């Protein structure tokens, strides 16, 4: 039987890349549509790795999800050129560290477009295909910032927080098709987004993490792969925090 098809956005690096690897290497492997905005070489290298290491199909798809109509067009290209998706992991995103007083309206627009609006539009387009499967899965990669806030990053935290309400509402709507929708909210993870943290900032952050370290992308991806598996069929509408205990206070 053919493998199910998963669309993973933001798969050229970080958590998105790790999610693609986790799905390809799952007990029931997925063929993976590798989305990227920038970083074509990294996306192509990942697709080649998935084929070589896991013997699954993988194909790259470029799209700037901040552009109007890009999300729906991406899903349709995947369906036509690669196969109808039964799983969506939305990991694409961008970060802006800036006091709210200096955050411009266009900054808010860009962050909400990439994180929240594109999540809704990707899900809307994908549901045309997910609802035909008894194992439709949607996983949004959120952030701990969406639950507890983040100083000098109000627009980012608000955009990630919007995923929580979207997840719960969408889970209610799509339950009739046995499709599940969940959010993973990571804390600090070793990704290009946190790669710019200097020693002082890392030391300050580590003091807030109960386990005393940043997470690894593979740890977040393992949770995402589980939520996309048949074993997670009874979990929906949830925001699962993976932060090393940072939210414990």
Number of domains in the chain: 1
- For 171-182, what is the mean pLDDT? 98
Single pTM value for the model:
0.95
Percent of the chain with pLDDT over 70: 100
pLDDT in tens, 206-234: 999 999 999 999 999 999 999 999 999 99
- Asked if the model's pLDDT at residue 43 lies above 80, the reply is yes
| C-alpha to C-alpha distance for 183 and 164, rounded to whole angstroms | 7
Task: Please report the pLDDT score of residue 194 as a whole number.
Answer: 85
Mean pLDDT score, 83-92: 97
Residue 179 has pLDDT above 80, yes or no: yes
The Cα 233–Cα 181 span in angstroms is: 10
Tens of pLDDT, residue by residue over 183-197, are 999 999 999 888 888
Mean pLDDT of 83-91: 97
* CATH at residue 161: 3.40.50.720
**Residue 249 lies inside a defined structural domain of this protein:** no
Largest CA distance in the chain: 55
At residue 97 the predicted structure's pLDDT band, cuts being 50, 70 and 90, is confident
- Angle (nearest 5°) at CA 90 between 88 and 96: 175
User: Is the residue at 214 inside a domain?
Assistant: yes
- Supply the residues annotated as catalytic: 156
Say if 69 falls within a structural domain.
yes
Domain span at residue 150? Answer: 5-242
The CA angle 54-58-61, to the nearest 5 degrees, is 155
pLDDT at 96: 86
DSSP-derived 3-state class of residue 145: helix
Residue 247 belongs to a domain:
no
Q: How much is the pLDDT for 197?
A: 84
Of 249, 246, 248, nearest to 212 by C-alpha is 246
Indicate if the pLDDT at residue 1 is higher than 80. no
| pLDDT, mean over the chain | 95
The pairing of beta strand 31-36 with beta strand 5-9: parallel
């Amino acid at each position: 039987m053919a493998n199910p098809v998963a669309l993973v956005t933001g798969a050229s690096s970080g958590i998105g890349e790790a999610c693609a690897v986790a799905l390809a290497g799952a007990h029931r492997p997925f063929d993976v549509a590798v989305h990227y905005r920038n970083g074509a070489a990294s996306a192509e290298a990942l697709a080649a790795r998935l084929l070589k290491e896991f013997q699954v199909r993988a194909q790259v798809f470029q799209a700037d999800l901040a552009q109007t109509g890009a999300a729906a067009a991406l899903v349709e290209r995947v369906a036509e050129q690669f196969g109808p998706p039964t799983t969506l992991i939305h990991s694409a995103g961008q970060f802006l560290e800036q006091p709210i007083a200096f955050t411009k309206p266009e900054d808010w627009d860009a962050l909400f477009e990439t994180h929240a609006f594109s999540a809704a539009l990707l899900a809307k387009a994908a549901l045309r295909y997910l609802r035909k499967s008894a194992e439709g899965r949607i996983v949004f990669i959120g952030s701990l910032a969406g639950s507890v806030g983040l100083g000098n990053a109000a627009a980012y935290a608000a955009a990630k927080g919007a995923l929580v309400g979207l997840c719960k509402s969408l889970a209610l709507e799509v339950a009739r098709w046995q499709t599940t929708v969940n959010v993973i909210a990571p804390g600090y993870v070793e990704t290009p987004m946190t790669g710019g943290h200097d020693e002082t900032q890392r030391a300050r952050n580590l003091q807030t993490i109960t386990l005393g370290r940043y997470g690894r992308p593979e740890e977040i991806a393992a949770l995402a792969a589980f939520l996309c598996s048949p074993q997670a069929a009874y979990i929906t509408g949830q925001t699962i925090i993976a932060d090393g205990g940072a939210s414990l206070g």
